[in-house]
Structure 1
Amino acid sequence: MRINNQLKRLFSTTSVRSRGQNLTEKIVQKYAQDLPNGKKVYSGDYVTIKPAHCMSHDNSWPVATKFMGLGATKVKDNRQIVCTLDHDVQNKSEKNLTKYSNIENFANEQGIDFYPAGRGIGHQIMIEEGYAFPLNLTVASDSHSNTYGGIGSLGTPIVRTDAASIWATGQTWWQIPPVAKVELVGDLPRGVTGKDIIVTLCGIFNKDEVLNHAIEFVGSGVSKLSIDYRLTIANMTTEWGALSGLFPIDDKLIEFYQNRLNKVGSSHPRINTKTIESLTKNKEIGDSDAIYAKHLTIDLSTLSPYVSGPNSVKISNPLSKLSNENIPINKAYLVSCTNSRLSDIKAAANILKGHKIHPNVEFYVAAASSLVQKDAEIDGAWQTILDSGAKPLPAGCGPCIGLGSGLLKDGEVGISATNRNFKGRMGSKDALAYLASPEVVAASAILGKIGSPEEIEGKIPKSAEEIVKNIEIPKQELSSNEDSGSVEILPGFPTEITGELLLCDADNINTDGIYPGKYTYQDDITKQQMSEVCMENYDPNFKNISKPNDIIISGYNFGTGSSREQAATCILARGMKLIVAGSFGNIFSRNSINNALLTLEIPELIEKLRIKFANNNELTIRTGWILKWDVTKALVIVVDENGKEILKQKVGELGTNLQDIIVKGGLEGWVKSELTK
């Protein structure tokens, strides 16, 4: 369980729980299942959710395979599920076409809404077709589900096991994250875009301030942002480290849907007069006494065009600075779910009109969907881009994730309107990737270097101002009645968990450090062999130091990296039932619970241990400190080697819904149990 402990301690009493809810909590309240009568949900709570919709893309076949492996034969609710083909659409190999055929056949057999390759990127389809809709909870087995927050839908990613669970039962679990309020004030200057806002946020708040948080965007600046700008910002809250990025319901959003209604017609099953009228009458907002874990503020009027990179979203620089450095580029991209909507294509076309792509540059363009491309063709913007010398790609993903044509080669430099510029993601690991707005990408493609639209006209880019920003962590009043209350315990679930703390003192220990990649696809590896290679890449001596029932404690963002479930199951194979860290990578947290491994976030404890063992250079340290977690009281007590109490802290309550998953050996076991009912 990932715990925001300050808030969890606050939430431990009935009197405090009478407070209001923020917008994230209100939406979860609507989709939470089997709550006790009158119970309100808050950050930190574990809930069973029944999302309005669940999307999967090219990974639909692995999800289907897992679904069938659970013994399921029919999806619980075929109106809940959406399958899109969007990632590897340029791949015409027999293997990929067979997978695509399998997905389509499965969808047809189950009556699932299916969108074939070429229709567009799944996230864009979910918005165009009204699956992700204001004030609903929509999930997808893809990390950029956050995009839906741009239209006021609480969108968040799930892993494949979660998707299979939803297919089979209609439900999965979610822990409501701490919620950060991001206030946008001031007016956005001319020439500054939504992409510049999120690139700036990623670059100036780059110390994991919003890691594993839900974000709610508020403030006077929000109403002046177009919906496409909001979608771009929400999309890249993923890169910022958040689990969701939610914008409010306002008149601009209502207008967006009224315009959309004119396109889809009044008979559309989700975007119609009735749903828009209901939305108009119910512009739900957070309560005035809602609690936020953090409050970040940025003055939009101080922003200028910003560029992310190279090879990291945590690095951002003013465009004016990079322009002066005369960085030549080889490739430019206007593609992806981030910035390939109609307004983006039109903005790029306005820059490119009357110009040609630099002879040393390849410029690739792909619309977010076939509908977007059709609209761009009608507008004339699409032809303008092609006339400049751009190379068209099919509507869908592609270079953004290193698939298909136009990838970066060794030593090349690329600038892209996508969301990620991780080293090697868009091609060679020896290439450099930058992120920018469609306007800057188009201008750079003409100039042959990272540059601005002003430079095409022979003008000097405006210098950046000092950005006005602020971060506040509200001080919460903690209840003195910390030990009150009793948690109901299901038969078979332990009332307490105790073990010696085993310190692995590092931040960002990734899944390859926990379970080496070379073993990931060895399907015949035994549980004993998994146990022996646990943490091998972090510390080869780990297997000689650790013992069953030890409790690993590590730093921040433990389990970052790939989605391999073995990072959790190898720890279980080692005989350990609990991991403690300053914070966890989200996918690792989900995989842990899904496989019956418990997790606790206790930043204070890792800081105490770092002080205690500051002069110890060993990678894995037996601390002699004993942690006892009294599940019935939701209380953790830690004593040192002499029995002295080091820490006493209230943590999150483990509800019976989560206990049931653990008792049944994980989410798959729980699903199988549900299917037999």
Structure 2
Amino acid sequence: MIQLYETGAYLVNGTELIPDDGNAQAAIKSKTGKNINKEDAAKETIAYGILEEHNTSGNMNKLKIKFDKLTSHDITFVGIIQTARASGLEKFPVPYVLTNCHNSLCAVGGTINEDDHMFGLSCAKKYGGVYVPPHQAVIHQYAREMLAGGGRMILGSDSHTRYGALGTMAMGEGGPELVKQLLDQTYDINMPEVIGVYLSGEPVKGVGPQDVALAIIGKVFANGYVKNKVMEFVGPGVDSLSADFRIGIDVMTTETTCLSSIWKTDKEIEEFYEIHGRKEEYKELAPGEVVYYDGMIAVDLSAVRPMIAMPFHPSNTYTIEELNANLDDILDDVEKKAIVSLDGAVNFTLKNKVKNGKFYVDQGIIAGCAGGGFENICAAADILKGAYIGSDGFTLSVYPASTPIYMELIRNGCAALLMETGAVLKTAFCGPCFGAGDTPANNAFSIRHSTRNFPNREGSKLQNGQISSVALMDARSIAATSANKGILTAATDFDGTIGKYKYHFDSNIYANRVFDSKGEADPDMEIQFGPNIKDWPMMGELPENLVLRVVSEIHDTVTTTDELIPSGETSSYRSNPLGLAEFTLSRKDPAYVGRAKDIQTAQTAVMEGKCPLGVKPELKPVMAVIQKTYPEAGEGNIGFGSTIFAVKPGDGSAREQAASCQKVLGGWANIANEYATKRYRSNLINWGMLPFIINEDDKKLPFKNLDYIFIPDIKKAVEEKADSIAAFVVGESDMVQFELSLGELTDEERQIILKGCLINYNRV
């Protein structure tokens, strides 16, 4: 089904793969008559050409990218604009679209969600942006319909910013990276490796894009095969897939931890642009005659079968057939993994879902940027036609990804087919994907065509003893399960017809409702604020010497951003830095906030010109030990703050708040064995936090939770680009030295850390 090459590979004429071994050059010459240089062949990828066009550095090894367009949603754009305003923003320099698809349920938290929306509308008018009101479209569907373009690049403040199937290289990053673009700065990265994804064959009936995506994720996540790399989809199998099918695979590439994605384009994609009234945005993209890829994923589409990603990660994958045939063994494995994911906070089992050898599901959801596409919902309607979901506990909700899709489902009759079955159709909303909509009952099991199934992404709260769980599946198998009244069923068991529906895009829906400034700013426009919208607190520069207290120690294999700052109802507070910070690590380590605030009092005293030992006397013996070796460390040259240790933090969401919440609570650093994603590490840097790496095994760390760590001359180490940084665990009478490193930092990133955060770096 899927093969990972152990070496790089050449692609010849878009159809033939040649592994990068001792025979590669001879094989290429026999087919092309040419001697091919690997470095030149690497420049023939689609990705290289797009990056070259957008790079402003003149050095393709050290990229400085300027994007064509930006997009954000309503749990990120307030903080982004507030940061940019503090840095002197006068006008959006490129098209910036503010969508409202996360905080759409305005009853949550009183008026504050709608206050954020009105803030966004007034800022779109003041600075020359585009404002998409709630329930019109989820962020990524609007971008597909109205923003994507062949050979373009889009930066979004949501991790699933992926439009590669449409010929657009898109990246999801934390808000500060968008702030840089708004201030005419650049996105700075080393030239990423490019991994080919060679598709062959065509999917069998009942297999959908989520099945293909989950099969790939299951192969590449754990081994990091595509981490921080670009996935480039090529091969004859691409031709067998519709635009919607390609989009459905592409959006899930985020869950592989890749940097971005791009696909070859053809008549299918040209037709997509034509349908949406933007034919001029189509551009034919294809790899060169002979292309070198740094790795290769070969996918036989005809061998893919309906998949399920069991709790609590999209990479925990099985075929549905395999799960049903081995229920006891697989459910036992899920329970063992849950002990780690849930820290034993609640009892968790799925074995009670098995009745008479059948696995029963409590809820089905087809939603969002992954599941809410036109073809997915039409296929679900065909599979459910003539069936009904029953009057017991099982429920099915369907969220079309945009109002134009919803309108077409009404016009072609698929909406009526679904509603006749007992399914409920709802408006465009991302809630089911991040824990703010359709939260199931306690101990319930939900199957969803959405993007993630991390703990709490369905809305349960471990701290309140509430637990439900999500498995990811394709809309087709969700429909087959729904037709079977909740018994887990693969769509390949459906023996009816799944039709091919023609899509008609109604542009009037957006023309009549979306505010588009056409790039014209109105400086006289007053921004509309609400009581929850707060400015960022003042943040100091990096001190010469630093005392850190370890206030949380996490030994999970991977720590998600949802665990660092919970999603769900907490999103209503993301316009209030200090208010949101109260939720930091609340579902993973409830003691974190109090501990972080405790050591923060010392730094607050420093910034106010007071003696930190006066407000926090327990630091006196710590300083006494430090000054035995470093007598000069003291008033005027030392700072205090907190750090967390996590093995591999930052998987999942792009949300900057995973870092900024630590910062506003006095965080100066993270210490990790590695960082799960580039975007989380970038968030730390942009908020002036040191992204430390420690090479010791996490079970043999030199420090433990609540220890004090002294880092002398940290400012000098950052300035002078030190490869290794000496740190000391402060004991009762002496200090024990260990080594930290910061990894590669650009000159700009070093300056941001030295200044204390991106706001300070840009402040005018």
Q: Which residue of 1 aligns with 2:50?
A: 27
Q: Which residue of 2 aligns with 1:379?
A: 412
Q: Distance in 2 between matches of 1:219 and 1:627?
A: 53
Q: Distance in 2 between matches of 1:132 and 1:68?
A: 24
After superposition, the Cα gap between the structure-2 partners of 1:304 and 1:105, relative to the gap in structure 1 and judged at 3 Å, is same
After superposition, the Cα gap between the structure-2 partners of 1:17 and 1:662, relative to the gap in structure 1 and judged at 3 Å, is farther
Q: Assess if the C-alpha contact under 8 Å between 1:531 and 1:571 holds in 2.
A: no
Q: Assess if the C-alpha contact under 8 Å between 2:596 and 2:665 holds in 1.
A: no
After superposition, the Cα gap between the structure-2 partners of 1:669 and 1:370, relative to the gap in structure 1 and judged at 3 Å, is same
Q: 1:443 aligns with which of 468, 477, 480?
A: 480
Q: Which residue of 2 aligns with 1:255?
A: 268
Q: Which residue of 1 aligns with 2:447?
A: 415
Q: Distance in 2 between matches of 1:526 and 1:69?
A: 31
Q: Match for 2:381: what amino acid?
A: A
Q: Which residue of 2 aligns with 1:215?
A: 231
Shift of 1:350: 0.9
Q: Assess if the C-alpha contact under 8 Å between 2:194 and 2:232 holds in 1.
A: yes
Q: Which residue of 2 aligns with 1:565?
A: 659
Q: Which residue of 2 aligns with 1:465?
A: none
- Equivalent runs, 1:69-84 vs 2, <5 Å: 69-77=85-93, 79-84=94-99
Structure 1 gap segments, 5+ residues each:
1-5, 8-14, 265-270, 459-492, 533-540
Shift of 1:395: 1.9
Q: Distance in 1 between matches of 2:112 and 2:711?
A: 53
After superposition, the Cα gap between the structure-2 partners of 1:594 and 1:651, relative to the gap in structure 1 and judged at 3 Å, is closer
Q: Distance in 2 between matches of 1:261 and 1:173?
A: 34
Q: Secondary structure at the match of 2:298?
A: strand
- Please list the CA deviations of residues 195-238 of structure 1 after superposition, one character each: whole Å capped at 9, or x if unmatched: 11111122233414233333223333333222222212221122
After superposition, the Cα gap between the structure-2 partners of 1:614 and 1:56, relative to the gap in structure 1 and judged at 3 Å, is closer
Q: Assess if the C-alpha contact under 8 Å between 2:83 and 2:759 holds in 1.
A: no
Shift of 1:412: 1.4
Shift of 1:572: 8.5
- Equivalent runs, 1:456-605 vs 2, <5 Å: 506=555, 507-508=557-558, 517=586, 525=597, 528-529=600-601, 557-560=648-651, 563-566=657-660, 569=663, 581-599=673-691
- Please list the CA deviations of residues 334-353 of structure 1 after superposition, one character each: whole Å capped at 9, or x if unmatched: 11110211111111111011
Q: Assess if the C-alpha contact under 8 Å between 1:627 and 1:637 holds in 2.
A: no
Q: Assess if the C-alpha contact under 8 Å between 2:649 and 2:672 holds in 1.
A: no
Q: Distance in 1 between matches of 2:701 and 2:373?
A: 54
Q: Which residue of 1 aligns with 2:59?
A: 39
Q: Secondary structure at the match of 1:332?
A: strand
Q: 2:432 aligns with which of 384, 399, 402?
A: 399
Shift of 1:556: 5.0
**Aligned sequence identity (%):** 20
Q: 1:166 aligns with which of 181, 191, 199?
A: 181
Q: Which residue of 1 aligns with 2:760?
A: 669
Q: Distance in 1 between matches of 2:702 and 2:276?
A: 65
Q: Distance in 2 between matches of 1:634 and 1:17?
A: 29
- Equivalent runs, 1:603-622 vs 2, <5 Å: 606=695, 609-610=696-697
Q: Which residue of 1 aligns with 2:137?
A: 120
> TM-score under structure 2 normalisation?
0.64
Q: 1:357 aligns with which of 362, 381, 389?
A: 389
Q: Higher mean Cα deviation, 520-529 or 323-332?
A: 520-529
Q: Assess if the C-alpha contact under 8 Å between 1:596 and 1:666 holds in 2.
A: yes
Structure 2 gap segments, 5+ residues each:
1-6, 9-36, 326-356, 461-465, 497-540, 566-583, 605-618, 627-637, 729-737
Shift of 1:522: 8.7
Q: Which residue of 1 aligns with 2:375?
A: 343
> TM-score under structure 1 normalisation?
0.72
Q: Match for 1:355: what amino acid?
A: A
Q: Distance in 1 between matches of 2:591 and 2:646?
A: 25
After superposition, the Cα gap between the structure-2 partners of 1:106 and 1:441, relative to the gap in structure 1 and judged at 3 Å, is same
Shift of 1:104: 1.3
Shift of 1:71: 4.4
Equivalent pairs counted in the alignment come to 577
Q: Match for 1:261: what amino acid?
A: E
Shift of 1:434: 1.5
Shift of 1:553: 12
Q: Which residue of 1 aligns with 2:421?
A: 388
Q: Which residue of 2 aligns with 1:480?
A: none
Q: Match for 1:88: what amino acid?
A: N
Q: Assess if the C-alpha contact under 8 Å between 1:365 and 1:390 holds in 2.
A: yes
Q: Assess if the C-alpha contact under 8 Å between 1:568 and 1:588 holds in 2.
A: no
Q: Distance in 1 between matches of 2:724 and 2:595?
A: 39
Q: Which residue of 2 aligns with 1:88?
A: 103
Shift of 1:437: 0.9
After superposition, the Cα gap between the structure-2 partners of 1:87 and 1:345, relative to the gap in structure 1 and judged at 3 Å, is same
Q: Assess if the C-alpha contact under 8 Å between 1:572 and 1:597 holds in 2.
A: no
Q: Distance in 2 between matches of 1:331 and 1:28?
A: 43
Q: Answer yes or no: is 1:368 the counterpart of 2:401.
A: yes
Q: Which residue of 1 aligns with 2:247?
A: 231
Q: Distance in 2 between matches of 1:165 and 1:447?
A: 51
Q: Higher mean Cα deviation, 59-68 or 81-90?
A: 59-68
After superposition, the Cα gap between the structure-2 partners of 1:407 and 1:513, relative to the gap in structure 1 and judged at 3 Å, is closer
Shift of 1:622: 11
